[in-house]
Copies of this chain bind each other. A is one copy, B any other.
């Protein structure tokens, strides 16, 4: 995230003064790309910047806040699941700047379409962060830590868990010398259909049809994979259960 955010700010003509990273190899590389200073030493941070962005993992964030003292400078973290209050020891002016997207180093990301969830300790900080976010993206949401946490939980179901289901499909196919790309158009269309909403009402597949024969066949195919079988049973059970709640029985 730090890399993508740094590049996006730089491309918008904003000045990134300094990059801090514990690992010089990574930090220097980003700093060079965006004409910024680099340091691996927290006590060398340039003081008095307009904004400090802590784009680090949740666990490292917990350690960082006890070692950073930035007085009255605006400081934000970028985590979906961590409360605003964690930053209280760092500064009197705090915020959250959470882009709802999955980032990987070697893939370009266009920030224009990425929702950014903001929170701040005061209307002034909120205004400042809103202006910044609006330079990067079309969709800015002002949300408190509770609502942001729900977005993050939704993201775990809709992205992390989904990727795990894709992994299962990949492995089942690979074991049988079948390429995963047979499923790609289906996977993309299923994701595109999210736009329509009412997703449970549009559920398809053997479980929602109550197709016992196919369910039985799949159980047999999964006999050698007790872990996948367990997931298959549980999700099918819930789909069937929901179907009856929705009055489809």
A154, B221: Cα distance in complex, Å: 11
A143, B180: Cα distance in complex, Å: 14
A144 to chain B minimum Cβ distance, whole angstroms, is: 11
Q: How many copies of the polypeptide does the oligomer hold?
A: 2
Q: Which residue in B139, B141, B158, B167 is a CB contact (below 8 Å) of A187?
A: B158
Contacts of A186 in B (CB 8 A): 100-102, 155, 158-159
Contacts of A202 in B (CB 8 A): 104, 163
Contacts of A162 in B (CB 8 A): 162, 165-166, 187, 190-191
Interface size on A, residues (CB 8 A): 87
Known: A113-B185, A163-B199, A200-B167. Is A206-B59 also a contact (CB below 8 A)?
no
List A57-90 residues whose CB lies under 8 Å from chain B: 57-59, 81
Q: Name A112's closest neighbour in chain B (CB-CB).
A: B185
**Additional pairs, 17, CB under 8 Å, beyond known A147-B178, A161-B232, A163-B190:** A58-B214, A101-B185, A102-B190, A104-B193, A141-B182, A152-B214, A153-B221, A154-B180, A158-B187, A159-B204, A160-B207, A161-B165, A161-B235, A163-B204, A188-B188, A227-B238, A231-B235
A-to-B contact residues, CB < 8 Å: 57-59, 81, 100-102, 104, 113-115, 117, 139, 141, 143, 147, 149-173, 176, 178, 180-195, 197, 199-200, 202-209, 211, 213-214, 217-218, 221-222, 227-228, 230-232, 234-235, 238-239, 241
